[in-house]
Amino acid sequence: MKNATLGKCLVSLSAGIIVSGFFGGVLAPGAAASGYEFDGIGARAIARGGAVIADAGDWTGIYWNPAGLVAAGEKQAGLELRAGKQYTKDGDSFSVPGADFDKTRASSGFVIGSLGTVVPLNGRSAIAAGVYTPLLQGSDFKDTNPANLVATSLDYKGSVILGVANVSYAGKVTDDLSVGLGANAIYASLNSESEITWGAALPGMGTQKNKSAAHGTGVEGIGGLTYRINDSWTAGAVLRSGAKIVLKGDERAYLTNGLLSEKSDFTYPVHHPATSGLGVAWQASKDLKVTCDIAQAWWKGFSSRMTYDTPGILLGNRANAYHWFNSVKFRLGAIKRLDDKTEVMGGYAFDTWAIDKHSVDFSTAIDVPMHRISAAVSRTWSPIEATLGALAGSGRRTSSGVDYSVRGWYVMSEIKYRF
């Protein structure tokens, strides 16, 4: 087979493997859009469906709405952890050009968390800081199909970390209007390894191995406001600027029989999307509050472009092939005080998909419209408040005759210390 034809197959495979190095396996129910937009931070907030844009009055305001930090009232620090599992189905499996595999289901576990603190400066302002991990995931796909003429086996492992550090300030403009501003420093890292055994259509090619690692940083701004309409109603709004994170790293690809061996640095610009949201909070009674939010992630324009410093047959440059859509998320939540020390809360969230039908699969992400339900209970032992909750979600879509689905769950806990 001519090198040009071989190169086309290998470049296409390498492209899919690199992309899944950043996105594969990150579809825990803790990530959305449907695959990517973060559920947020704080077990109390997530248990309310994340509908807290107008009611983020504690340390979690660093994520939900920095304007809410001014309502914290006292110094506090919080720590949240969640752990769970997700299950995905791609009816078309992981596709290598000319050699589809049979494995259509995958699963992975995850543990992520967040922590932060808020310090009131006086009765009208506050500062806060915190860190959280929107993505801390791994993926593992392994399958064989001896009947394939192009490729008979594929073994892929990848991991991705996305970490955010925030500093924020909030202040009251009037007794009813509060504003907040913050800055997010973003760190992204990916690692992937793959091994593919070529079949009879590529005689003498044997086994190809790829190994890559990359990292990058970016900065985005976040701003928000809350307005107390009256004693029963509060409105809120939040906007994040998004960021361009240019991942830089290196990759090595070679055939184990010694026919080809390549190594190159590469760049992969990642569009961390801007997001916006509006919310309202209704104090229905002394002990019951109901909240509702609508948020959007501006994914349109996300790129799959990759550029190698020294491209070759195994490592080839790739033009953007994505045509993603902006996604919308609807959130509804409620919190009920049972007594001076105990609260219960519940919520529902629905978000639309972002990945176009030509790009959704195991090599990018299984992106589907998702439904999520959540609940938690909080108990206070002054100065400590503890929350324990859970979330479950599922969704499916059919694109070009192929069925895709995601389902999963996690348990979450939060400890808040007032001092």
Confidence of residue 16 (pLDDT cuts 50, 70, 90): very low
CA triplet 297, 55, 29: central angle to 5 degrees? Answer: 45
What is the per-residue DSSP string for 253-295?
Answer: EEETTSS-EEEEEEEEEEEE--EEEEEEEEEEETTEEEEEEEE
Question: Sign of torsion, CA 63 66 69 75?
Answer: positive
Decide: 39 and 46 in contact? Cβ < 8 Å. yes
Confidence of residue 179 (pLDDT cuts 50, 70, 90): very high
Domains and CATH numbers, the chain: 3-418 (2.40.160.60)
Instruction: Give the separation between CA 157 and CA 140, rounded to whole angstroms.
Output: 5
Average pLDDT over residues 189-195: 91
For residue 110, the model assigns a pLDDT of 82
Span 63-98, pLDDT tens digits: 999 999 999 989 999 999 999 998 999 988 876 666
Give the pair of three-digit tokens for residue 94: 């992981």
pLDDT at 36 over 90: no
* pTM (two decimals): 0.88
Span 157-168, pLDDT tens digits: 888 888 999 999
Omega cis (within 30) before 269: no
Query: Nearest 5°: phi and psi at 2?
Result: -70, 150
Of 95-109, 193-207, 300-314, which gets the smallest average pLDDT? Answer: 95-109
For residue 160, the model assigns a pLDDT of 83
Would you give the distance in Å from CA 112 to the centre of its chain?
11
Average pLDDT over residues 235-257: 95
Instruction: Give the separation between CA 29 and CA 371, rounded to whole angstroms.
Output: 10
Q: Which amino acid is at 418?
A: R
Instruction: Give the separation between CA 330 and CA 349, rounded to whole angstroms.
Output: 6
Q: How many C-beta neighbours within 10 Å does residue 139 have?
A: 22
Give the pair of three-digit tokens for residue 335: 């919190």
Q: What is the mean pLDDT of the chain?
A: 87
Instruction: Give the separation between CA 125 and CA 121, rounded to whole angstroms.
Output: 6
